[in-house]
Structure 1
């Protein structure tokens, strides 16, 4: 199967202008596939602060196009010490050995449990900055704003009709939902009554904050402030890493809760609540807590496994397909992988009649890997919070788990995935 260098005879609607939607759009344009990107907001924008992107994500960016990787590198921040370049996180005790019993409760606070090494330097970006770089690679004429999806209808001629809340409609050969964890496209693909159609609460919530690096270094010392750290404890953990070229320390403090009843996933709370959640933790964590200004908490939801990522000529990728908790730092990376693999498959499609077969080939090579991320990430949150069955607060067992936990994510052969998908497509498109 070869890529056609002329403009394709079919066109694609991409729903959602986040990292997944923009990376996919860039990939489709490379293959001369006419594409329209529909974004519900009035302009491109990302919420949230720092995001970690592993080796697999950088490899996928490079494969989508050198401009994508170059844009990422312009805004990426790495651990500030050269000796820490290939460290994902230094995992440390956030509580003392006797935190529960009261005996010797401060012993071991901050001690190193394990340093997880990465195949290439570990990078962190501010979501909004990375998005700005991706936007530069998409022509202005491609994006339509203020287009919040209400429904997608499969037409008798094989095309799809998108319906938006503003009353407008659009017809395309196919639609790909990149519309995030609250994806409307996912509900269309699975059916609204499917238990997996909407995200479920993961049992964790997070406080997020950005702290000026000079302040952080003054309180924590250079090593802990300027390089990525993870502090583990009972029913919570706190991570920090540098962003904005080392000018800022990004903080995410995780805590546990059995259920989430508020209709909003982001709610205001007080500094006292934050302090109470981490009372008795190490001096490092207490120092970080004192510097955090905002005390909003973000409920962490994820998807149950979807039975499919495809319905006729509608497909879902990224968080719309497999929203995960952030505990393995790989949600955005998997979305970029999805975008690369799907764009490569569609690049070899010559007729709109074969779009469904292309989508199914994508699903076949991606669904197991992406479902696995959701499952292992949930377990990883339990590992960090001394909740994982058979491990609990045994730091030797935690270290043993961490030694290989990320290997299957970072060491993926994406070119092999694409070749496999293309072979599946070649076979099924001829049936």
Structure 2
């Protein structure tokens, strides 16, 4: 019976996610086209320019726009996650900022973000909590068809045994999403998180039910405070992780780590193979490329028997119609247990990318990647240091 309930909960999450994607898609396409315009326009200007400084400026603008596209695709991947929570230490303030940017694409409604300056970190499944925030913001947008202001706030709270909240005592981060809509009728508030319950003409009523399930799975709580005609405020609480956070060092991107030897690159997309080859030559390496795992195994085995084995191999995780990185590394390790292999993929949230060493890889490289990122991951892999981007 519990398995059946779990399957039903997962199906509700999927349906709610699809509805949310439908609401967001129009704005995403709008912003994506703007970013692509920035990329193509600046590249065309760079191609025509004979002035080095001017050309460099155009290329930098195109690179910046590309980073915007990368952020959008990462947000879409994050939003698509489901299932049991896979927790990691997350800066919730940063997650909220990105979620708002993502969900408010193309909207004329104002959204304010209020974050406590010393907000605690949380151990959460970023993708699932991101979905909760998206659902609540979409709900607030739909409650204000004539416009208004949404306020998203986050603060630290301590919950003790005397609290009315049905959660264990401890430290929590409270996230609130407020709107200026018509409010939720008092008779409906007890059912607002029930599956398929909705007061709207469109939608299945699964967005808030999915949010409830996700927050519960994180040992938290979600509630609504609303008065007819005065808008609504949805609060959810997730346990905090209070610890000192390491400050990431800023690396001078001009200081590339170069090397020698030959690198084997396996990717089914010719554009990626050509780009990787050009980057590797810049880093001092020679390259050999192929488009699927069987060929990579043949090339690696032949090089191993020669006097010039490959320094490392970069394997695309997914190869439609061919052998991908997951199966290829198994075969390669049978040939050479000491193989230095890096897994590369556009599916940055794949389990193999996060736990690459469990599958026999020495590093992971999330697409799209920069020359500096390739340099760092490759050199760490060759030196025997686990690395990923």
Is the pair's TM-score, using the shorter chain for normalization, greater than 0.5?
A: no
Structure whose alpha-carbon radius of gyration is higher: 2
TM-score by length of 1: 0.22
Q: Per residue, is there more helix in 1 or in 2?
A: 2
TM-score by length of 2: 0.24
Q: Per residue, is there more strand in 1 or in 2?
A: 1
